[in-house]
Amino acid sequence: MNPPSGPRPGGYVGRFAPSPTGDLHLGSLYTATGAYLDARSHQGRFLLRIDDLDRPRERPGAADRILRTLEAFGFAWDGPVVQQSARAAAHGRALAALRALERLYPCDCTRRERALGVGAYPGTCRHRREPIRGPHALRVRVDPIEIDIDDRIQGRWRRNLAATGDFIVQRRDGIVAYPLAVVVDDAALGVTDVVRGADLLDSTPAQRFLQTLLSLPTPRYAHLPVLTEPDGAKLAKSRRSVPLDARIAGPQLATVFDLLGLAPPAGLARARIEELWAWGVAHWNAQQVPRRPNLPLPAPTAAPLGPAG
């Protein structure tokens, strides 16, 4: 089950879609830079969307700080910033379409009950006959079919949707879940290429399934390895997850270029931001990005990765 993918008439359209749950850190800069270089090296458009559906986790002022940080690091996006929270009507239409296809069913399983399945939701509520009257999520009924993923960085791989199981498209608090919102909103923006972290690779088959059900185009995917500390700990929970500092934007950006496999010359970190970006666009090659799900950072050195003290 593989809809046609790849750039369509009108050229390349990429995007960066951060969630305002905190400030950008080195891992965020790494992902945004990969997406930006890929778009600009294809002479394409680069869009910015704030994925702000998860209001309970949103930090006050985080969206504005994200925009200011991206501007300070020299990012320039095309068109207005899109707020995902303003897309409720489109998300509702997608849910209605899935309901009309008889693909939705309610689920009131607790987190503990969901964990009883091995690797995937065990389908507890799929065949329930009694009505669910209390708070509940909505799940999509999937088919046990093979989904082929031809990722530009991670390579080709296959996943049976049975391993994913029936997945949630609307949480019990009424918030539309990521897999549905992202495919609806990427299609509305005309996104042809998605460059994002490999922590989202496992969610791609579910998104491909939704794209087919809803007759939406499938973009090309390129999943960057997720940055971790040398011991494998998530960067988001380490000391190097501190907010970025525009005072040392050049060194931080050059560090990210190196992590993306570009091998920048030693003096590039001292160049103006415009020169750094021009060099990065000219030397970008997605095939040089390490093909692995996680990329441990080198042990801390004198090279500044976080805010100057």
Per-residue pLDDT, 52: 95
Residues 6+ apart with CB under 8 A from 281: 37, 40, 41
Per-residue pLDDT, 112: 61
The domain segmentation of the chain, as residue ranges, is 13-296
Fold for 13-296, please state it: Rossmann fold (3.40.50)
Per-residue pLDDT, 2: 43
Per-residue pLDDT, 132: 86
Per-residue pLDDT, 309: 28
Per-residue pLDDT, 7: 45
Cβ(234)–Cβ(197) below 8 Å: no
- Reading the chain (309 residues) residue by residue, the pLDDT tens digits are 444 444 444 599 999 999 999 999 999 999 999 999 999 999 999 999 999 999 889 999 999 999 999 999 999 999 999 999 999 999 999 999 999 999 999 999 877 665 555 568 888 899 888 888 889 999 999 999 999 999 999 999 999 998 889 999 999 999 999 999 999 999 999 999 999 999 999 999 999 999 999 999 999 999 999 998 887 777 765 555 566 888 999 999 999 999 999 999 999 999 999 999 999 999 999 999 999 999 988 766 434 444 332
Measure the CA–CA gap between 156 and 197, rounded to whole angstroms.
16
Pairing of strands 226-228, 294-296: parallel
CB atoms within 10 A of CB 299: 7
Cβ(106)–Cβ(136) below 8 Å: yes
Q: First vs last Cα of the chain: how many Å apart? A: 52
